[in-house]
Amino acid sequence: MQNSSAIVIFGVTGDLTARKLMPALYHLDRNSRLPQPFFIIGFARRQWSDQILRQQLRQSIRIAEDTGGQETSLAFLQNCFYIQSDFQDWEGYRRLKQTLVEKQIVNVLYYFAAPPDAYLNILEGIKLAGLNHDFPGWVRVVIEKPYGRDLSSAMNLDQKVHEVFSEDQIFRIDHYLGKETVQNILVFRFANGIFEPLWNRRYIDHVQILMAETVGVGNRAGYYEQAGVIRDIFQNHLLQLLTLTAMEAPVAFTADAVRDEKIKVLQALRPYKGEDALINTFRGQYVSGVIDGKRVIGYKDEPGVAINSTTETFLAMRLFIDNWRWAGVPFYIRSGKRLPKSVTEIVIQYKQVPLSLFGWRNMAGDAPNLLILCIQPDEGITLTFGAKAPGPIHQIAPVNMSFDYVSTFGSEPPEAYERLLLDVMMGDATLFTRADEVEAAWRFTTNILEAWEQAGLKNLPVYEAGTWGPSGVDEFIQRDGRKWRNP
C-alpha cells in the first residue's frame, strides 16, 4: 500500500471520531499498517482550523490510550487538515477536492460520521465535485449507522448512495462485525468438527442473545429519542449476531459467500405484524436507580429527552427462524441501557437428557448444558455441564470448561474499528453489510415499528437503573417454561 492515501471524515468534530476512529487510526499507524503517506482530512461545520483539529485529535488519542500524561509519538497528526463547511455548501467540496489534488492523493476513503440527516447532502456534494472518481487509485465510502430509519428511508438512502458509488465501493459499517469474538463465532462453528453437528433444532432447546450496557443515553438524546433500542441496537448489531449464530456454512470465506448465507437467515425470520409483534416483544424504559454504587437519573430526566417520551431503552424479543435447521427453536434477544452489567453474549442452551437417572431435580433449570460465547467484556467461550460432586450420594454440580482470550493469547483483542478500517483499505467487504442484508433487516424491523405505532402505548413499563429490565420481562420468557440467563 505504498500510495498517497487519505481518509476524509465528514463530521470529524463528533464523538465517533474522538472515541473510535482516531484511536483506531493511531494504532494502525503505530503498527505501520497505514499506506504511506497518509492524510486525514476532516470536514465539518464548526469553526476549527488545522491546528485545532490536530489538538483535538491529539487529545482524543491521549484519552483513549490513557497514557497517564506520557507523550506518545503523534507525528502522523502533521498530515491532518481541516475543511470548514456546511454540508450543503458545494464550495466546501470544491475546496476538499483542491486539497486532495494538491496532496496528490491516489486512494481516497470517505467516512460518513456526520449526523444521518446530512448524508444526502454529502452524497450530492461528492457527486457535484466529481469526488467519487477522478483519482488514480481506489475511491471507497464507509457509511455509519443508522442506515435509514425504516425500510423505505433505507431504500431511498441506498438508491442515492448508488447514484454516486457502485456497490463494490460501499462499506456499510456495523462495528460489531469487527469484534474478534464476533468473527470467532464463524471460526468456532466452521473450523471445528465437533460443534456443528450439535448446532440445530435436534439438540438445541433455545438461544439467548444479550447485549447489556450500564451506560445511559448520555448526551445522545437528540439521536436516541428517534431511535430507541430497536433502531440503535436490534436492527443492526443484534440481527448481525443472530445471522452469524444461525447461518449455514458458506461455500467459501469470501464477502459474497458469507453474506449470501447471512441474508437467508434474515429472510427466514418469521415476520411479526400487528398482534404478533406485540406478543413477541417487550419494551421498557429506565427510571432512576443505582449503577456501580452511584445513583443515576431516569431516562425522562436525561437532557434532551421529552417528558412524555415512549422511546424504549430496553427491549426483549422472541424470534423464530423458519427453516430446516431452526424450526421451533426460539431465539430470545435482549438489550438495554442502564442494566446492571455491560456484557454481550450468545448462549446456546441444549436440550435435557431424555431420562433423568440421577434423581437430579431439573437439569435444564439448575445445571443446563450451556454453550456461552462471551463477546465482551470477558471474551471467551464456556461450556457448562453437570458433573458428579464428590461423595457417596449422587449429587450433580454445574461445572465449566472455558477458553479465555486474554489468558490464551496474552492480550485484549484489538478494537473493532481498527480491523474494519484496514479491511476497507484492503477492499475486503466480508465484515460489512450488503444492501440486501440491510433491506431484509429493515423489512423485519419495520413491521414491528408499525405495530407499535398502531398500538400507540402512552407509557412503557419501567425498570430501575441497575436492574435486569421491567418486572414483566421474566414472565415474558417464563410463559415458554424458560428463564433468562443474567450473567
**Rounded-to-5 percentages of helix, strand, coil across the chain:** 40, 20, 40
Q: Are 389 and 377 in contact (CB under 8 A)?
A: no
C-alpha cell of residue 6: 487519505
CB of 160 to ligand BG6, least distance (A): 22
Q: For residues 5 and 344, which CB has a smaller minimum distance to ligand BG6 in the complex?
A: 344
CB of 416 to ligand BG6, least distance (A): 7
Peptide bond into 398 cis (omega under 30): no
Catalytic residue among 27, 175, 206, 237: 237
CB of 213 to ligand BG6, least distance (A): 5
**DSSP code at position 237:** I
Q: Which residues contact 321 (CB under 8 A, 6 or more apart)?
A: 246, 265, 268, 269, 270, 327, 329, 331
**DSSP one-letter string for 28-52:** HHHTT-S-SSEEEEEEESS---HHH
Residue 164: Cβ-neighbour burial (10 angstroms; 0-12, 13-18, 19+): buried
Annotated active-site residue 133? The verdict is: no
Residue showing the smallest CB distance to ligand BG6 in the complex = 232
Q: Give how far the C-alpha of residue 99 lies from the chain's centroid of Cα atoms, to the nearest Å.
A: 33
CB of 306 to ligand BG6, least distance (A): 18
Give the footprint of ligand BG6 on this chain (CB under 6 A).
Answer: 213, 232
CB of 403 to ligand BG6, least distance (A): 21
Backbone phi, psi, residue 190, to 5°: -110, 0
Q: For residues 6 and 21, which CB has a smaller minimum distance to ligand BG6 in the complex?
A: 21
Tell how many helices (H) and how many strands (E) occur in the chain: 17, 17
C-alpha cell of residue 205: 432447546
Q: For residues 232 and 345, which CB has a smaller minimum distance to ligand BG6 in the complex?
A: 232
Q: Are 239 and 263 in contact (CB under 8 A)?
A: no
Q: What CA dihedral angle connects 78, 18, 51 and 1, to 10 degrees?
A: 20
Q: For residues 232 and 439, which CB has a smaller minimum distance to ligand BG6 in the complex?
A: 232
Q: For residues 340 and 398, which CB has a smaller minimum distance to ligand BG6 in the complex?
A: 340
Q: For residues 149 and 206, which CB has a smaller minimum distance to ligand BG6 in the complex?
A: 149
Q: For residues 205 and 232, which CB has a smaller minimum distance to ligand BG6 in the complex?
A: 232
CB of 360 to ligand BG6, least distance (A): 37
Q: How far apart are CA 357 and CA 386, in angstroms?
A: 13
CB of 28 to ligand BG6, least distance (A): 18
Question: What is the C-alpha end-to-end distance of the chain, expressed in Å?
Answer: 44
Backbone phi, psi, residue 86, to 5°: -70, 155
Q: How far apart are CA 164 and CA 134, in angstroms?
A: 13
Q: Which residues are catalytic?
A: 237
